Chains A and B, each alone.
Chain A
Amino acid sequence: MNHLLVVLVVFSPLVGFLINGILGKKLPEKLSGALGTLAVLISFVSSILLWNHVSIHGGFETVLFNWLAIDTLVLDFGFRVDALSIWMMLIISGIGTLIHLYSIGYMHGDKGFSRFFAYLNLFVFSMFLLVMGNNLVVLFFGWEGVGLCSYLLIGFWYHNVAYGHAARKAFIMNRIGDLGLLLGIFLIFKVFGTLHLATIAELASANLVQPQIINWITFLLFIGAMGKSAQIPLFTWLPDAMAGPTPVSALIHAATMVTAGIYLVVRNANLYQIATLTTQIILIIGLATSILAALIGLYQNDIKKVLAYSTVSQLGLMFVALGVGAYSTAMFHLTTHAFFKALLFLGAGSVIHAMGGEQNISFMGGLKNKIKTTHITFLIGTLAIIGFPLFSGFFSKDEILEKVFEYSPIAWGFTLFSAALTAIYMLRLYFVVFLGNFRGSETQKANLHESPISMTLPLMILALLSLFGGVLNLPHFLPENMSQFLSHWIASIPSMQFMAPSSHEHHLSQTIIFGLMGLAIVLVLVLLFLVYRFYASRQFNILPNQSRFSKLGENKFFVDEIYNHLFVKQIESRSEFLYKVFEKKAVKPFIMLFPRIFGQLGKVFQRVQDGNVENYLLYFVLGIISFILLILL
């Protein structure tokens, strides 16, 4: 039964992909969209049934078939369903279903409608492989699969050359990270002699391996996570990935795929527990990414770009939590972020839909009364992400702040700064888009309309989740049976018992904890007031900002230009040298020597073939005679 459910979860999106991919053009739009959504819905229902099983009997593994066996390397195509993977499965299939539903409305009338659903289903399938694989190779298979789907979907409107370039950029930057992950997997196999995740976790807790090697392994895995989860230095692909259709940005580049890096670290938490050096690196990179991306987000005028930088920044916060060893906290923020960021992206999609494709927020404004459902849900998403009290983001962000404070007050200061920046750029976005006067063209104003129900329904469901998502992991000072649900849940995996809140001693006194929480609340409220006053004084317009720093922010701190200069130009000049000197002067003349020799030989021997049968006969007889002579002599 469980085996069947696992197969159903994983393969129903694959079947959806095959049907839409092969028959797509012949299917009517409605059927195509319904099939794609149904495939993910089946996964979601099966995941809920599996959740039920896991909560009673604990996790289990199931093997589909033996994949390959080379000497000591025995690989099964097996799946692991435990507290951690079922959590991810529910997020993927749940939010995935909503976004598929939304896409039916959003992609209506697009020429590649069925292709879009085929890709989305393939993505969901790969994502399931990633989070459910019981060994690192199945995980890697899924990891590459989601990378491919990300590439295909960013470049979905491939007629636009710039979109194609964005897709390639995402793919190539991910490859750099993948190389790190692959090397990490190799090193794990060399050190532990197995790729089975549960066995690795067991061996890692036995403390048999030198910490230095563990540091290397975890660092290499983290490089993979950097690529997929868009951390410094591999973060520049994610904002460009906004070239894809908005549901893609919501599903792949906000809620699920980019969190694969977090999942990878949490899944190997037993390794990261020992790797003190790597976790420090993770903390620093997470903080730096979070602040840098937030600063860039402050100066962007494209609604999707702001959200993209916000995603990078929030992912940075999750890595901060991982860096201080708060794995379940990172999972908590991952979950709430999946809710509110998917909501914000879908809301942005609805705004773009209403504006007839316009993405620049300086042409929006005053949309509050025009698209009411979108406005209210977007407002809920904004309040959730800035950590307004009792919204889901408040609980997760506060837990991160508390864990970081426990680790180091200085890091806490930076994290708080990043959280404050989040509040500023998100409020700016909200105020400029929804308040004030409409600044677009007259035709846009006449055509403003609320999106169809298939688009607003997912918005409402996600808004509810963003509102109440906090109950998944309420603060630990509340009574035990209602707080810290997620932490207890993940700690139910035997190898991850150390994440249980009870085993974790609280160094902080109650006063400090409440003080920190109060500080965060006051900060958010003050910022809300200040940002409102700032934009109200300008009638909620964006005025061109002439300061030097804002120019830096608008140009994304020139990170792309620096990379271009450091890497791309260097490789290009070397390639050109090799082409002009090595290829043209050495390789080509040498290779061309052979055709020339045989050409000349051919010219000599073609005279023999003159078409005269008697001559052929003569050669034939001469040949026989020479053979006979050869034998006789």
Chain B
Amino acid sequence: MDLIGYENYFWLSTALFSIGILGILIRRNMIILLMCIEIMLNAANLMFIAFAYKWGNMDGHIFVFFSMLVAAAEAAVGLALMVLIYRKFKTVDISYLDKLKF
């Protein structure tokens, strides 16, 4: 760890987060969107770890465990939803799913 300065982790985390946001903004495929959300989540996790390292504090690690747990649950629910949506509409393109709009 010492070989790589923690600033680099910040930059990496920021880059991952930006990629995630950009993906959400420009893509329409729901599977991709879910992946982008995961990327953003993990960017945040990475930032937690980096700061925990920087300040020599274990709180960040605890948070990451929690958020990983939540992310696993979220992925399971999200994928299940997507399977159901595909069965009903035969598509995973989010722009077609506007039945509730008025």
From residue A629, how far is it (CB to closest CB) to chain B in Å?
14
Consensus secondary structure, chain B interface: helix
Residues of B within 8 A of A618 (CB): 25
Query: Which residue of B is nearest A618, CB measured?
Result: B25
Asked if B101 and A621 make an inter-chain contact with CB atoms under 8 angstroms apart, the answer reads no
Q: How far is the CB of A310 from chain B (nearest CB, A)?
A: 77
Query: Are A617 and B24 in contact, with the CB atoms below 8 A?
Result: yes
Is B21 at the interface (CB under 8 A from chain A)?
yes
Question: Is A617 in contact with B101, judged by CB distance below 8 angstroms?
Answer: no
Indicate whether A614 reaches chain B with its CB closer than 8 angstroms: yes
Instruction: Sort chain B's interface into a size bin.
Output: under 10
A415 to chain B, nearest CB (A): 88
Nearest CB in chain B to that of A615: its residue: B25
> Which of chain A's residues have a CB closer than 8 A to the CB of B101?
611
Q: Which of B58-102 contact A (CB under 8 A)?
A: 101-102
Question: Which residues of A578-633 are within 8 A (CB) of B?
Answer: 611, 614, 617-618, 621
- In the complex, how many angstroms separate the beta carbon of A389 from the nearest chain B beta carbon? 96
Cα A617 to Cα B21 with chains together (Å): 9
Of the four ranges (under 10, 10 to 19, 20 to 34, 35 or more), the interface on chain A belongs to: under 10
Q: How many whole Å from B99's CB to the nearest CB in chain A?
A: 13
For the complex, give the distance between the alpha carbons of A181 and B102 in Å: 67
CA distance A611 to B101 in the complex (A): 7
- A35-48, CB under 8 A of B: which get 1 and which 0? 00000000000000
Instruction: For B24, list chain A residues within 8 Å (CB).
Output: 617
Interface residues of A in 310-343 (CB under 8 A from B): none
Report the minimum CB–CB distance from A351 to chain B (whole Å): 76
Complex CA distance for A449 and B102, rounded to whole angstroms:
78
The distance from the CB of B39 to the nearest CB of chain A, in whole angstroms, is 15
In the bound complex, CA of A576 to CA of B55 (Å)? 78
Which of A611, A614, A618 counts the most B-chain CB atoms under 10 A from its CB?
A: A614
User: Which residues on B sit within 8 Å (CB–CB) of A617?
Assistant: 24-25
In the complex, what residue of chain A is closest to B28 when comparing beta carbons? A614
CB proximity of B28 to chain A, nearest CB, Å = 9
Q: In the complex, which residue of chain B has the Cβ closest to the Cβ of A611? A: B101
Which B residues are CB-close (under 8 A) to A611? 101-102
* A residues less than 8 Å from B25 (CB atoms): 614, 617-618, 621
Interface string of B18-58 (1 = CB under 8 A from A): 00010011000000000000000000000000000000000
Q: How far is the CB of B19 from chain A (nearest CB, A)?
A: 13
Closest to B27 in A: A614
Shortest Cβ distance from residue A625 to the other chain B in the assembled complex, whole angstroms: 10
Instruction: List, in ascending order, chain A residues with CB within 8 A of B102's CB.
Output: 611
- A39–B47 CA distance with the chains assembled, in angstroms: 82
Rounded to whole Å, the gap between the CB of B7 and the closest CB of chain A is: 16
Name the distance in Å between B27's Cβ and chain A's nearest Cβ. 10
Docked pose: A618 CA to B101 CA in angstroms: 19
CB of B101 to closest CB in A, whole Å: 6
With a cutoff of 8 Å between Cβ atoms, the chain B residues found around residue A621 in the complex are 21, 25
Q: How far is the CB of B85 from chain A (nearest CB, A)?
A: 16
Which of chain A's residues has its CB closest to B95's CB? Answer: A614
Shortest CB distance A588–B (Å): 38
| Distance in angstroms between the alpha carbons of A621 and B19 in the assembled complex | 12
Nearest Cβ on chain B to A572's Cβ, whole angstroms: 54
Among residues of A, the one whose C-beta sits closest to the C-beta of B22 is: A621
| A545-576 interface code vs B (CB 8 A; 1 in, 0 out) | 00000000000000000000000000000000
For residue A631, give the distance in angstroms from its CB to the closest CB of chain B: 14
CA distance A618 to B25 in the complex (A): 7
Shortest distance between the CB of B57 and any CB in chain A (Å): 25
Instruction: Using CB atoms, name the residue of chain A closest to B24.
Output: A617
Q: How far is the CB of A439 from chain B (nearest CB, A)?
A: 80
Given contacts A617-B24, A617-B25, A621-B25, 5 further A-B contacts (CB under 8 A): A611-B101, A611-B102, A614-B25, A618-B25, A621-B21
Q: Enumerate 6 A-B pairs (CB-CB under 8 Å) in ascending A order.
A: A611-B101, A614-B25, A617-B24, A617-B25, A621-B21, A621-B25
The 8 closest A-B pairs by CB, nearest first: A611-B101, A621-B21, A618-B25, A617-B25, A617-B24, A621-B25, A614-B25, A611-B102
